[in-house]
Structure 1
Amino acid sequence: MADPSTYRPAVGTIPEAPGVYKFRDAGGRVVYVGKAKSLRSRLNSYFADISGLHPRTRQMVTTAASVEWTVVTTEVEALQLEYNWIKEFDPRFNVRYRDDKSYPVLAVTLHEDYPRLHVYRGPRKKGVRYFGPFAHAWAIRETLDLLLRVFPARTCSAGVFKRHDQIGRPCLLGYIDKCSAPCVGKVSADEHRDIVLDFCDFLAGKTDNMVRRLEREMLEASQELEFERAARLRDDLGALRRAMEKQAVVLGDGTDADVMAFAQDELEVSVQVFHVRGGRVRGQRGWVLDKVEAVDDAAIVDQFIMQFYGDNTENTPREVLVPVLPDDAPALEDLLSEQRGSRVALRVPQRGDKRALMETVARNASEAFAQHKLRRAGDLTARSAALQGIQDALALDTAPLRIECIDISHVQGTDVVASLVVFEDGLARKSEYRRFALREAATEGDVASIAEVVRRRFQAMLREAASGGPNPGIDPDTGKPRKFAYPPNLLVVDGAGPQAAAAADVLAELGITDVAVVGLAKRLEEVWVPGEPDPVILPRTSDALYLLQRVRDEAHRFAIAYHRQKRSKRMIASELDDVPGLGETRKAALLKHFGSVKKLRQATVDEISGVPGVGRRTAEAVVASLAAGGKS
């Protein structure tokens, strides 16, 4: 634990100008990023009496070993720089407004010749229009099921579309009139695009025109005695109205706004956002996060808006309604307006429907916070108890805040691979996971394989530490932590005494003395400490054993996944090994084009020779080889 006074800047060296600052730990990793109107005033507050700091702030300044800053000229520059640094360095102590799950949206692929409607999760792409987010994927599918009878647009994947185009028959949705079947030419590309655009208009809130048009067409069909068509239009109207009922109008038609509210205590904050598009609530999202500093609602609004809309520029609304305006509200408005390409208003609703909706969002934030407290009380206590239990059971100097675990996977000594997973503060840190394809010890058993992985992992750490520079743990080209820059407090290997002893011997050979090693045996869940004749037995119901099991099981899962991937590639490649004149490059091109050997086996010579780099003679050889392999 560092003493903040050891790295406090000299008196008078901190400028009074606005800027952005970074705290780094002893390895050079950025652990916190912040901005301030006056750097001197802000940074001096971190070096006051440590006992008077917020608990998370106290943990941050004692973890850090240095502080640096960058002076800027405007608040907009400070906002942008702070956001960019948080995104680049992923500081441990910064609040990251990211969902614990990926919320689904309804995507419309307008960039394709035949646009597709489908459920989507992930980053936004150009040429795709998104509606949502929705709380559940089933809500999208339910809405689509209602609307496809009115807007029979394509919902199938590219592979399904291509297959039905080849066989000349539509899928089931085409037969039951929930798809206009553009794959078989029932409608042209332009006609299908018109259907999709009408669908987009309806979801965007332009519902009145659509309803009036269908009512008019139904009346005309009835007057012309086309009763079947009139009945179909009547059913379409019913489907539209049921879809509209699912999204009640809460604000004036055409209102495009995000409404956000917060609930907090000294340590955590609950955030709720309602997305209103076309006057209707289209989606809802929520977070509960740790606070790093004692901040009020205005400061939370400031932090949240920049991070939430930083990667979400396509969905920035015309209005952002908040419970209180931050000090730099004009700068935030300018930045959001620049991202959107048109004016964005940031304001506090005072009366009417918007104020009533704000109160509803606030109630949801408070309710989510209360539920979180009930769920998380045990989780936080359990994680702390688990780390403390491991420290006590293994007689460690400190709690193992960073645990790494190694597992080996193979089938009778073939395709030997290993995984290394990382847990920090009792939680998986998947960005730090690593995979190893074993070479030297692959045929010598698990003990030798464990030794090879430990040697490669810690030799890499020593090389990075010896690379020189002010921050040896940071890659000078990218500014990000190196792969193996940070050692664990505890290294867990899957196995018993021999595996743990092999890992400990390698560490001793490399001169590393500050990493504890244990082996966790699967059969009796015994914890083996190198050099000890008997294992440590943890109570079956203890939080400490549960955490070690989770770490070991995650390493096993990660290793198995990698092993299956390698074995699958090897099996696929082996079926093409006997084709004369077919090298690795053209093998890869064929598999990429057809997706699998099964589909390649079904392809004709002409289809195979159409792949770039594959001639007709090679295509004939591929067909002949795969046909012979199938018969055998």
Structure 2
Amino acid sequence: MSMKITSPEELPQKPGVYIMHNSDDEIIYVGKAKKLKNRVQSYFREEDKLDRPKTQVLMKHFSYLEYILTDTEKEALILEANLIKRHKPRYNISLKDGKQYPYIKITNEEFPRIHITRRLLNDGASYYGPYTDATNARGFIDFINKNFKIRTCKHMDGPCLNYQIKQCSAPCVNYITQEEYNKNIRRVKLLLMGRYKTILKQLKKEMNKYSKNMEFEKAAIIRDQIENIQVTLEKQNIQPTKDVDQDIIGIDHNDSEAAVVIISVRNGKTNKKDDIILKQINGFTDTEILTEFIKQYYSTAPAPDEIILEDSIEDEEIILEWLEEKQGHKIKIKVAEEGHYLTLIRIAKKNAHISLTENTKEEENPLLTLEQYLRLPKLPYHIEAFDISNISGIHAVASMVVFENAKPAKKMYRKFKMNTPGPNDFAMMKEVLTRRYSRIAPGYDEQKASSDSMYIKPDLVLIDGGKGQLGMAVEVFKSLGINDVPLVGLAKKFEELYVPGRSQPIILPRKSTALHLLQYVRDESHRFAITFHRQLRSKAFTKSILDEIPGVGKKRKQALLAHFENLDAIYDASYEEICEVEGINKKLAKTIYETLENDKNNKKKEI
């Protein structure tokens, strides 16, 4: 039950959560307490008696508060963490949005798939992460699919190329039983949890069983899996010697941000390192920063057997009770005071210092620079951009490119054939924006975003052009009812940035990596559109010309393509060059050359 009040006198002496609002009804702070009345009374003192500047600023914006009673302090802690994550209040420590970090997801299907996702859904799937490096996560998935032959297709409509190259076990046609397939999935889960010793033991036992039964082909497959896992462990310097999972956590901070480094130790050896940034830390003590991080981070990330810290935290007993109930196993929080753990804490702190320093260097953090200059609500991790390509309206196409973490995410690129009559680039751009973003209009199915990138809501959309093009995009989004996706226009002449609601352009320094990133995104969308347009032109050309040339059948078409590599090159080839193609005599070469020359003269507008 939630109650609105303006004075702490109305509060009971019971555990619960208090939610502070400003005069605009915005939530500005969320806290928990064992006894609500005692805790909240500390905010209602005279200004000069408030213990910190942060509290003074908070109370200047305070209008009223709500409170929610809980049965226990642990329940209050869980509720507080969930409310902070949902509302991101201005005066709470903010863990940078975990959605930008990729997770490895094992789907909840009869024959599960494994893929990267940035959305944690309550869909019965298994999630592992977060990973701060998407490339490493994808590499791990490639390794898993190759060695355990996990399916990657969505629809299971027959053996595909992956089966032909021995990278899928083809459950779609029952070439593997569900029991055997799920045995592989269980082994993959052990790998993702760092249980290398357990999986190697299982595999060796199974290999020996197949050998004794003289099933040597199956034994060889298991042998290769063992060897590949061992090679991977050697590359990562992981030796499965100790069955204990640990996170060693080091923090460094300045006045406004903190960098946290988590060194994950699995089976006694370093497995991976994660870097996370905390914002809005000004006014909080080191202990409070560390405590808030533990609560927010482990509300989604799996907690290990031991968490090693440089100092103690607040509410340790309650946090441990919550984590143990959540994870289903015993958990210890240890303070490193000497020996090996203290060395690891120092390493983590050193890495945190480096991460914090790099995060404040504008030239090395284009996403952070864009967030600040464009006043974005969060880091523009997922950027989308579009381009139109046509010649006098012929074969008009549009491209959509996607950049994630300032790098091209080519699997998310999309091509569009335009329905708008041309030439009219302005109207065509309006068409492609409508087609793309109608999928995320109010009422869209958010669950589809985990399997279809066209349902992901971008952090920033780049429009190629100035005020006019940006205004058109704003109208498209307005007509779709979308008001929470930032737009920016990049005008070519002076490389100025335009944002909605601001008449004057934003000028980034010419050497700014943020400007270079936007230029790269724009140029990549242009390149991708032109490539698609050429493909359509070439395809139309071969259908209308090559297929009509007497003597040019399927084999000679293949010979021409093999010799010239692409269809545009055939179109531009000389008579002598065509003569060099295997299987093409001089008479046929002359026919081909003359036919193409006549076509070029008749259709100059398509060149």
TM tier, smaller: 0.5 to 0.7
Q: Which of 161, 164, 174 is 1:171 aligned to? A: 161
Q: Is the contact made by 1:132 and 1:283 (CA closer than 8 Å) also made in structure 2?
A: no
Distance in 2 (CA, whole Å) between partners of 1:126 and 1:92 is 31
3-state SS of paired residue (1:180): coil
3-state SS of paired residue (2:290): helix
Distance in 1 (CA, whole Å) between partners of 2:169 and 2:279 is 50
Q: Where does residue 263 of structure 2 map in the other structure?
A: 274
Q: How big is each residue's C-alpha offset from its partner over 1:234-270, in whole Å with a ceiling of 9 and x where there is no partner?
A: 6544312112224434895221233322222333222
Query: Is the counterpart of residue 297 in structure 1 residue 286 in structure 2?
Result: yes
Distance in 2 (CA, whole Å) between partners of 1:199 and 1:377 is 36
Q: Which of 84, 87, 90 is 1:86 aligned to? A: 84
Q: Is the contact made by 2:43 and 2:50 (CA closer than 8 Å) also made in structure 1?
A: no
Q: Where does residue 180 of structure 2 map in the other structure?
A: 191
Q: Where does residue 155 of structure 1 map in the other structure?
A: 151
Q: How big is each residue's C-alpha offset from its partner over 1:365-420, in whole Å with a ceiling of 9 and x where there is no partner?
A: 22212222333999999899979xxxxxxxxxxx999xxxxxxxxxxxxxxxxxxx
Which blocks of at least 5 consecutive residues in structure 2 are unaligned?
378-426, 428-465, 476-489, 526-607
3-state SS of paired residue (1:158): coil
Query: Is the counterpart of residue 117 in structure 1 residue 114 in structure 2?
Result: yes
Which residue identity lines up with residue 94 of structure 1 in the other structure? N
Give % identity: 23
Q: Where does residue 133 of structure 2 map in the other structure?
A: 136
3-state SS of paired residue (1:285): strand
TM-score (norm 2): 0.53
Distance in 1 (CA, whole Å) between partners of 2:179 and 2:371 is 61
Distance in 2 (CA, whole Å) between partners of 1:197 and 1:81 is 33
Distance in 2 (CA, whole Å) between partners of 1:123 and 1:400 is 23
Q: Where does residue 467 of structure 1 map in the other structure?
A: none
Q: How big is each residue's C-alpha offset from its partner over 1:73-96, in whole Å with a ceiling of 9 and x where there is no partner?
A: 743243133224324543233223
Q: Is the contact made by 1:218 and 1:234 (CA closer than 8 Å) also made in structure 2?
A: no
Q: Is the contact made by 1:250 and 1:281 (CA closer than 8 Å) also made in structure 2?
A: no
Q: Which of 62, 65, 87 is 1:64 aligned to? A: 62
Shift in Å, 1:158? 1.6
Shift in Å, 1:333? 1.2
Which blocks of at least 5 consecutive residues in structure 1 are unaligned?
1-7, 165-169, 388-398, 402-445, 447-493, 504-519, 558-632
3-state SS of paired residue (1:286): strand
Q: Is the contact made by 1:20 and 1:33 (CA closer than 8 Å) also made in structure 2?
A: yes
Q: Is the contact made by 2:150 and 2:168 (CA closer than 8 Å) also made in structure 1?
A: yes
Q: Is the contact made by 2:102 and 2:132 (CA closer than 8 Å) also made in structure 1?
A: yes
3-state SS of paired residue (2:20): strand
Alignment of 1:36-55 (within 5 A): 36=33, 39-40=37-38, 43-45=41-43, 47-49=45-47
Query: Is the counterpart of residue 209 in structure 1 residue 209 in structure 2?
Result: no
Distance in 1 (CA, whole Å) between partners of 2:143 and 2:207 is 18
Q: Where does residue 18 of structure 2 map in the other structure?
A: 21
Which residue identity lines up with residue 154 of structure 1 in the other structure? I
Which residue identity lines up with residue 34 of structure 1 in the other structure? G
Q: How big is each residue's C-alpha offset from its partner over 1:431-466, in whole Å with a ceiling of 9 and x where there is no partner?
A: xxxxxxxxxxxxxxx9xxxxxxxxxxxxxxxxxxxx
Shift in Å, 1:193? 2.5
Q: Where does residue 333 of structure 1 map in the other structure?
A: 320
Q: Work out the number of aligned pairs and report it.
A: 410
Distance in 1 (CA, whole Å) between partners of 2:251 and 2:227 is 39
Alignment of 1:204-243 (within 5 A): 204-205=195-196, 206-210=198-202, 212-213=204-205, 216=208, 235-243=224-232
TM-score (norm 1): 0.51
Give the 3 Å change call, closer, same or farther, for CA 122–541 of structure 1 in structure 2. closer
Distance in 2 (CA, whole Å) between partners of 1:126 and 1:540 is 43
Distance in 2 (CA, whole Å) between partners of 1:70 and 1:182 is 50
Distance in 2 (CA, whole Å) between partners of 1:276 and 1:235 is 26
Shift in Å, 1:330? 0.9
Which residue identity lines up with residue 123 of structure 1 in the other structure? L
Distance in 2 (CA, whole Å) between partners of 1:521 and 1:363 is 42
3-state SS of paired residue (2:100): coil
Q: Is the contact made by 2:74 and 2:319 (CA closer than 8 Å) also made in structure 1?
A: yes
Which residue identity lines up with residue 307 of structure 2 in the other structure? V
> What is the RMSD of the two structures over their aligned residues, measured on CA atoms?
5.3
Give the 3 Å change call, closer, same or farther, for CA 24–45 of structure 1 in structure 2. closer
Shift in Å, 1:18? 5.8
Distance in 2 (CA, whole Å) between partners of 1:22 and 1:293 is 20
Q: How big is each residue's C-alpha offset from its partner over 1:155-181, in whole Å with a ceiling of 9 and x where there is no partner?
A: 31223x3243xxxxx424x22323223
Q: Is the contact made by 2:262 and 2:274 (CA closer than 8 Å) also made in structure 1?
A: yes
Which residue identity lines up with residue 332 of structure 1 in the other structure? I
Query: Is the counterpart of residue 372 in structure 1 residue 359 in structure 2?
Result: yes
Give the 3 Å change call, closer, same or farther, for CA 65–256 of structure 1 in structure 2. same
Which residue identity lines up with residue 320 of structure 1 in the other structure? I
Give the 3 Å change call, closer, same or farther, for CA 216–378 of structure 1 in structure 2. closer
Q: Is the contact made by 1:105 and 1:133 (CA closer than 8 Å) also made in structure 2?
A: yes
Q: Where does residue 253 of structure 1 map in the other structure?
A: 242
